[in-house]
Amino acid sequence: MTAPVFLIDSLADAAAGTVLELAGPEGRHAVSVRRLQPGEDVVLTDGRGRGAAGAVVRTEGKDRLFVEVAELPVEPEPVPRITVVQALPKGDRGELAVETMTETGVDAIVPWAAARCITRWKGERGLKALDKWRAAAREAGKQSRRLRFPEVADAATTKQVAALLAKADFAAVLHEDRARAGAPLATAELPAAGEMVLVVGPEGGVSEQELALFEEAGAKAYRLGRSVLRTSTAGTAATALLLGRTGRWS
């Protein structure tokens, strides 16, 4: 079994042979939930690409764990970088989408208030929903043993999404209509580096007005395959396809 990963505030003082303290909620999870014992291997990460791998030397109380660092693994910046613009699904499907995309390997997620979204993030409710998405990314990042967790941005408007697409090296809008979408995503010409941005619409689909704005910004409509996926699974499937085609999974 691979060593469990825990999030630590900073690794600025980490070096081989030093002892790092893991406290707070992460320390409590390690000590009281995982019940880690001296001698067991763990990995601490700042979630920004740096890690500290080592063995537990001792625990104190219910929420303090001490790890002697053996090595300092680094997860390099991804090339090319993959961002998924995710329309707001109903219920907890948004958190499911964030979780599975993170485990698959997405680099950034942008919540999008599309015209046909039933869910609306407003006021305090919207802030709580965004916090849940970010928490889901953190937990999935640890579960999948990542050292670099995906950024979950603030919710974007359609105009903001169009601006993001305009700056991308590859911009795609997933579309279920074979007549409206051009080629399959599996045959698209992909860049070797830079930024790739995928737009995943809501269950009701991307509106014609939105699609026209995105195409004006330089995006093209693509289909994934024969079946129509839910909005909460389409981003994961598309991310996996791109990771395989760009060589990031090789």
Average pLDDT over residues 5-12: 94
Confidence (pLDDT) at 250: 84
What pairs with residue 108 in β-bridges?
83, 151
pLDDT tens digits for range 90-125: 888 999 999 999 999 999 999 999 999 988 898 898
pTM across the whole model: 0.93
The sign of the torsion formed by the CA atoms of 204, 209, 214, 219 equals positive
Structure tokens at 97: 């989408």
Task: Sketch out the chain's domains with CATH numbers.
Answer: 5-71 (2.40.240.20), 81-245 (3.40.1280.10)
Is 90 exceeded by the pLDDT of residue 216? yes
Structure tokens at 68: 């002697």
Is residue 182 packed enough to be buried (19+ CB in 10 Å), middle (13-18) or exposed (0-12)?
Answer: middle
Confidence (pLDDT) at 179: 65
DSSP 118: S
pLDDT tens digits for range 144-197: 999 999 999 999 999 999 999 999 999 999 988 766 777 899 999 999 999 999
pLDDT tens digits for range 38-97: 999 999 999 999 999 999 999 999 999 999 999 999 999 999 999 999 999 988 899 999
Confidence (pLDDT) at 13: 87
Is 90 exceeded by the pLDDT of residue 228? no
Confidence (pLDDT) at 108: 98
Q: Is 247 left (phi over 0), alpha (psi -120 to 50) or beta?
A: left
Token match 């079994």: residue?
Answer: 1
Confidence (pLDDT) at 91: 85
Average pLDDT over residues 185-213: 95
CA distance 101 to 108: 9
Token match 């998924």: residue?
Answer: 84
Residue 30's alpha-carbon distances to 10, 175, 223, in angstroms, are 17, 43, 43
- Within 13 Å of residue 152, how many CA atoms lie on the same side as its CB? 27
CA distance 194 to 183: 22
Helix axes 93-104, 231-245, angle to 10 degrees: 10
pLDDT band at residue 135 using 50, 70 and 90 as cut-offs? very high
Weakest-pLDDT range from 31-35, 89-93, 97-101, 138-142:
89-93
Structure tokens at 50: 């740096």
DSSP 214: H
